[in-house]
Structure 1
Amino acid sequence: MDTFIFFLLGFGYFCLFIWGLVLSRNYGLLNLTNVVLLVIIGLIYDNLIIAFGRFIGEGKLLENLSYARFWLHALFTPTLILFAWSICFRTGLPWAKKTFWKAVAWLMTIGGILYELLASIKGLKLKPKWKNDVLTYESAAPSDSLIMVIIITLVLGIVGFILMRKFRFPWLFIGTLVMILGGILAIWIKNFPIMNVLEFILIISLLMTRQFSNQKSKSS
């Protein structure tokens, strides 16, 4: 069952990637809000490698393919801080146009990537893990990535709250809130990849926010 869910998520993320490309059509791929496309690429790879794990089997091939999962997470996930700032900039929030906040966004993103590389990638050793008939290679040591996930979730939640108060656009805040509640539910729900599913919902909310910023840019 879980294998099917991960295949379905991989296909779903591919569809979201196409949606993201369509949203970028009139603004070019160099727009900073398009960093969400990098995150989606990482999630397509992540979910498909997990889905194919049991068919590939234990060994060096799956282990090496799994290392890329951790690298993509470390390099791409912190860029969501840039996404959050760029959304504020494109929707015309005055404070976001100040050089100070742009610098803060870049520094937090670069700092987040460096932190992930040092805390999660440096010295990374993987071991096979079977769960609900799904085979993955996971870190043999406890991961410190939770700190970065909390920071990114907090940034997205704050920006989502600002957009909800300023423009009555609630979806980013709702997507972030769903992730937070999902993290709490995951403590009790062990036999279903709830965080992977709710992560998909969060990405949908990010693309909806991207679409909203396009509309605001056109109207301004």
Structure 2
Amino acid sequence: MDTFLYLFFTGSYIALLIWGLIGIRKQDLPQWTSFIYLIILALIYDNGIIAFGKWIGEGELLETLNLLRFWTHAFLTPLLVLFATGTLKESGIVWAQKKWVSIVGIIYTVILIGIEVWLEVSQLTLKAAEEYGVLRYVSTKEASGPPVMILLVTLVLIVASAILWKKTKWAVFFIGAIVMTIGSAVPINVDSGAVTNAFELFLLFTLVWTKRRLIKDKLRVY
């Protein structure tokens, strides 16, 4: 079942990336919200490697490919902070245009990358694990809850999306952040390790939709 789900997620992220780029002009790409495309590419890779793991087979190649999953996660997931900051800047919120907002966003992102590398990746050792029909390499360290980096990124997403909702009446970003948070926190009693990734896909869908709304429909402060 999980092989099918990971293949589905991989295809969905490819479709989401294409939809996100359709109609985007070159002058729109340098904006901070465009970091969402890098994050989607990382998720395509992440889900794809897991989906095809059993065909690649256990060994050094699959271990290296999975190690790269952890490193891309550490460096690219914190870019969601810059995306969230970008939604506030690009919607025309006055205080978000201040230079200090950009500086704080960049520093916060760098700190999150450092935290993830220090706590999760720098001392990482992997072991092969086959579960629900998929083969991948996972950390040998026992998980003791959500990673600190994820919690801090989620906090920024919720706060920024709430501000955007209040200022522009656009609630989609906020709904995505809340659904993702609840979906990650509430245990789902199913024989699958991939089902909860649907909440992540939903979040990314709302982020791309928000990006397109900012560009195409000129989402602005009322």
Give TM-score, length-normalised by structure 1.
0.93
Report the counterpart of residue 40 of structure 2 in structure 1: 40
Q: Which residue of 2 aligns with 1:9?
A: 9
How far apart are residue 111 of structure 1 and its match? 0.9
**Residue of structure 2 in register with 1:184 after alignment:** 185
Structure-1 residue corresponding to 2:86: 86
Return the offset for 1:217: 6.4
Task: Name the SS of the counterpart of 1:58 in structure 2.
Answer: coil
Change (3 A) 1:14 1:106: same
Q: How does 1:116-127 map to 2 (within 5 A)?
A: 116-127=116-127
Q: Quick one: higher RCO (CA 8 Å, sep 6+), 1 or 2?
A: 2
**Mapped pair 1:70 → 2:70:** yes
Quick one: structure 1 residues 142 and 24, their matched pair in 2 at CA, closer, same or farther if it must change by over 3 Å? farther
Distance of 1:181 and 1:27 partners within structure 2: 36
Report the counterpart of residue 151 of structure 1 in structure 2.
Answer: 152
Residue pair 1:20, 1:207 contacting (<8 A) in 2 also:
yes
Equivalenced residues, count: 219
Shift of 1:216: 2.2
**Identity between Structure 1 and Structure 2 (%):** 36
Structure 2 alignment gaps of length 5 or more: none
Q: TM-score, normalised by structure 2?
A: 0.92
CA RMSD in angstroms, aligned pairs only:
2.0
- Letter of the 2:62 partner, please give it: L
Map of 1:138 onto structure 2: 138
The structure with more helix, counted as a fraction of residues: 1
Find runs of 4+ consecutive structure 1 residues off by over 3 angstroms: 142-145, 217-220
Q: After superposition, what is the alpha-carbon deviation per residue over 1:118-149, rounded to whole angstroms, capped at 9, x for unaligned? A: 11210211111111111110111145861111
1:150-204 per-position Cα deviation (integer Å, ceiling 9, x unaligned)? 111111111111122222111111111111111122x343523232111000000
What is the alpha-carbon distance in structure 2 between the residues aligned to residue 83 and residue 91 of structure 1?
Answer: 12
Q: Retained in 1: the 8 A contact 2:54–2:134?
A: yes
Is the 2:92–2:220 Cα contact (8 Å) retained in structure 1? no
Contact 2:167–2:221, Cα closer than 8 Å, also in 1: no
